[in-house]
A and B are shown apart, each in its own frame.
Chain A
Amino acid sequence: MNQVDVVWRRRRRRETRHLLMSVLPGALWIFIFLVLPSAYLMSVAFMTNGGFGQPQLPLTLDAFRNLAGFGFLGWSPGNLYTLWRSVFQSVISLGLVVLVAYPVAWYISMCRPRLRAIMLLAVVVPSWTNQVIRAFGWMNLLSPGTTLSDLAARLGLIAPNMGLFPSDFAVTLGLVYNFLPFMVLPLYAAFEKLDHAQIEAARDLYASPLRTFFVAVLPQTLPGLLAGSVLVAIPAFGMYVIPELLGGGRSQMLGNLVASQFGDAANWPLGAAGALLMLLATFVGLLVLRRMGRRLGGGSEMVI
């Protein structure tokens, strides 16, 4: 072994020590207080439900059968309805968020640069307020006897004296409200780089406005749309606060099912199985985002 090699190695070892010293405390913190607990939670999903909701050995797949509706009293569709509602609500609210966010992001990108920062801030500021308070605001607006509820009743949309809240509709509205900024920001970033020449070209070729949009605007803003979609749909799928406050007992989503199993319903393994499902959805979403981001020419920096 020659001298240079020894020096290089010693230096490398010193650098590794420096890296560990700076990074290790925080990394260990995350590992001990998030990775270990998550691993424990995942293991609970494969345990048996003992008394008082405490998980016990032996290892089984009971929790997953439970999640699919097989319980003490035979099969019931309640849990599957909840799962379906989670998927349905996140897809519907994603669609609505896209419909609102496109014009908003486009309009912001058309305004004077000085104004744009303020407009983006105006979109984001409401989401700085605690989500419990925001949901409470909607409860105030939609509860029975308010102007909006009366209007809906007069139009025959709901029975008289009923409120728009609690309902599935209120949950969808709450989700759209909550996640709108998550779509506007990435879409705006895409619109800012929009090549207007393509739009002009489409118009010169007598494309209809709709066709112009699909041919010239949509492809250019697709990376933003995809990033936003993951940022909206995945958290919406696991949402807890909004269905709990704005939906009644019949508007529960997966997050509520999970939480109740760790509370009153006292079935930790079932709750953990639901949590496992949510984690899987999250990682699939991130994976899809990375894949598509690469193919569309964006780098991995697109992931948040």
Chain B
Amino acid sequence: MHNTSFKKGLAIFWWLTLVFLYAPLLVVMVFSFNAINTSARWGGFSLRWYERLFNNDVVIGAIGHTLLLAVISSIIAVILGAMIGYGLYKHRARKLGLLIILIYLPIVMPDIVFGIADMAFFVQINRLTGLLSPGLSTMVIAHVTFQIPFVALIVYSRFVGLDATLFDAAKDLYASPWQRVAHFILPTIKPALLSAFFLSFTLSVDDFVISFFTAGPESATLPIYIWGAIRRGISPEINAIATLMIASVALVAVLSLLFNRRRA
């Protein structure tokens, strides 16, 4: 079964799959430079949709909300998640089944249920207390909730990869708990913290459903803006925003590839 014709067939299938995977993205990118207002025909090259985009205050605002939300939620999630990761590692001999279920819950929960549960909850809290009116704060809360598990798992696996005797060594050298944190623990898990931050950031920027249900009228992020624009009717302007988002993802992919290669 390992003969060449079989492998050749698989190779053809592989390239077709790549076309399938990248065609929708390429179409968006190509037609963002279309001179006419359609995605069915090519009417010459133009940058008019990008010009429109950068003169659109709503879009600029949405970009701002997206970045602000991603940065704030990632910082909170990295702190809380790293603490969980450390706790899980330090006490891994204990039975922590319930805690582990709690940590997996945000990952396995369908995001529509997640978003709607939070929305319904925030609405009731707001009715009773006046706190947590839908907006950036409710979005930050929801985003941190789904980012914490990923941070905790990344940090935990970094600790597991360490030599356990290092902890005893730090203790033997009479380092106080805070000295241990500052001079040993934080420096050793710094790469894990960085990658956890970037993953949290990406998850936040990438999220639509949970943001959509916890957002307020003044806190639309870029995906929410795109969603609204699509519902109002296909406009080539969306192609231009989408292209910028695809390009930034591609940039991250290339960077991570280069980073990996350098490390290897």
Contact = CB atoms under 8 A, between A and B. Distances in A.
Interface of A: 15, 18-19, 21-23, 25-27, 29-31, 33-38, 40-41, 44, 100, 103-104, 106-108, 110, 117-119, 121-123, 125-126, 128-134, 136-141, 143-146, 177, 180, 196, 199, 203, 209, 212-213, 234-235, 237-238, 240-241, 245, 255, 258-259, 262, 268, 271-272, 275, 278-279, 282, 286, 303-304
Given A22-B84, A34-B114, A41-B117, A140 B234 contact: yes
Interface of B: prevailing SS: helix
B21 interface: yes
Given A34-B105, A238-B112, A136 B87 contact: no
Contacts of A272: 120
Interface stretch (B11-19, B57-65, B167-175): B11-19
Contact of B230 (A18, A21, A245): A245
A138 B234 CA distance: 12
Interface of B: 1-2, 6-7, 10-11, 13-14, 17-18, 20-25, 27-28, 31, 38-41, 80-81, 83-84, 86-88, 90-91, 94, 99, 102-114, 116-122, 124, 141-142, 144-145, 148-149, 152, 202, 205-206, 208-209, 213, 223, 226-227, 230, 234, 238-239, 242, 245-246, 249-250, 252-253, 257, 260
B116 A106 contact: no
A26 B209 contact: no
Nearest to B13: A103
Given A26-B81, A34-B109, A238-B110, A268 B120 contact: yes
22 contacts: A22-B84, A33-B142, A37-B120, A41-B117, A107-B11, A128-B202, A129-B25, A129-B249, A132-B226, A133-B242, A134-B25, A136-B230, A136-B234, A139-B234, A143-B40, A180-B21, A238-B111, A258-B116, A259-B213, A262-B119, A275-B116, A278-B110
Contact of B226 (A44, A133, A271): A133
Contacts of B90: 18-19, 22
A34 B203 CA distance: 17
Given A26-B148, A255-B112, A134 B106 contact: no
A304 to B, nearest CB: 7
A104 B17 contact: yes
A275 B112 CA distance: 8
B24 A122 contact: no
Contacts of B21: 122-123, 126, 177, 180
Q: Give 9 closest A-B pairs by Cβ, nearest first.
A: A137-B24, A22-B87, A37-B121, A238-B110, A26-B80, A23-B87, A37-B117, A107-B10, A145-B40
* Residue of B114, B120, B226, B253 most packed against chain A (CB within 10 A): B120
Given A23-B83, A30-B105, A130-B226, 6 more contacts: A19-B90, A27-B84, A27-B103, A104-B13, A125-B249, A259-B116
